[in-house]
């Protein structure tokens, strides 16, 4: 089984080497591991650094935004023969030591998608308001998508090939909620607890908690509306893929 670890980056030259250095070289059940850095319009030499430190593949994009960079990465991973894809942020927030636990439910065929759940209450970069919003948002999204995910905005995720092939991302902001909404009906989504590192820089995606919540709400509502209006034949084709 071939695993590709994709790392979307925008100006992550200060942290990328540390992220890549911690990635496992071998894993039980995995015959080949490759890394892919998606450079989303970086101006600090992120792509050049990725090549110097031995990343297997570098996809250089103009500044298209996180959602589109993530989706482009999935397409590249699939084109390169990935059976399993892990998405890992380039800011060194997540711990590579948790990667075996993240992919285990896919390897044992108990899940098609796995989301790493951060310890929100102890997160070193989250203030009280953000913790409250994270918990509230996760409850609302779980209710609307008939899932049980305690950290719906976590970017540490694993996808089986069928799930990655079926996933479509339409918005240009972030993939996190749209991915859950689109896959929840036809694929099994599991969660595992993961640890986090403190991040020294502010988020480049979240300029304001309020603006972030408003944009994510619009994305979720629009996605759920599209899913409910989708032709039945399209949903049946997706369901057939999950039973292969």
Which tens digit of pLDDT belongs to each residue from 160-201?
999 999 999 999 999 999 999 999 999 999 999 999 998 766
Q: How far apart are CA 85 and CA 164, in angstroms?
A: 8
State residue 45's pLDDT score. Answer: 97
Range of the domain at 222: 2-242
Q: How far apart are CA 237 and CA 105, in angstroms?
A: 24
For the chain, how many structural domains are there in total?
1
Q: In the structure encoding, which two tokens stand for residue 117, read together? A: 């759940």
DSSP string, 150-200: S-TT---EEEEHHHHHH-----SS-SHHHHHHHHTTTS-EEEEE--B---S
Tell me the mean pLDDT in the region 92-105.
Answer: 96
Q: What is the largest CA-CA distance in the chain?
A: 48
Asked whether the predicted pLDDT for residue 242 surpasses 50, the reply is no
State residue 29's pLDDT score. Answer: 95
Which residue in this structure is represented by tokens 């992220």?
Answer: 19
Asked whether the predicted pLDDT for residue 88 surpasses 50, the reply is yes
Q: What is the CA radius of gyration of the chain?
A: 17
pTM equals: 0.90
CATH number at residue 31: 3.90.550.10
């Amino acid at each position: 089984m071939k695993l590709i670890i994709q790392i979307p980056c925008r100006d992550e030259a200060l942290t990328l080497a540390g992220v890549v250095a911690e990635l496992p070289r071998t894993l039980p059940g995995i015959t080949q591991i490759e890394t892919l850095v998606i450079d989303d319009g970086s101006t600090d030499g992120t792509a050049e650094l990725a090549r110097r430190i031995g990343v297997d593949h570098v996809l250089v994009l103009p500044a298209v935004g996180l959602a589109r960079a993530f989706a482009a990465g999935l397409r590249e991973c699939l084109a390169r023969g990935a059976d399993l894809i892990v998405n890992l942020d380039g800011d060194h927030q997540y711990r590579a030591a948790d990667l075996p636990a993240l992919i285990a439910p896919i390897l044992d065929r108990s899940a098609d998608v796995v989301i790493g759940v951060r310890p929100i209450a102890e997160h070193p970069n989250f203030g009280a308001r953000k913790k409250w919003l994270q918990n509230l948002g996760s409850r609302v999204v779980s209710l609307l998508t008939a899932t049980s995910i305690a950290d719906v905005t976590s970017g540490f995720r694993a996808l089986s090939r069928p799930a990655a092939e079926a996933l479509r991302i339409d918005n240009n902001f972030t993939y996190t909620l749209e991915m859950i909404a689109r896959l929840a009906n036809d694929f099994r989504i599991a969660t595992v607890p993961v640890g986090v590192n403190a991040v020294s820089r502010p988020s480049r995606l979240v300029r304001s908690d309020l603006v972030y919540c408003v944009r994510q709400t619009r994305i979720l509502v629009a996605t759920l509306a599209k899913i409910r209006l989708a032709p039945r034949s399209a949903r049946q084709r997706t369901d057939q893929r999950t039973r292969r």
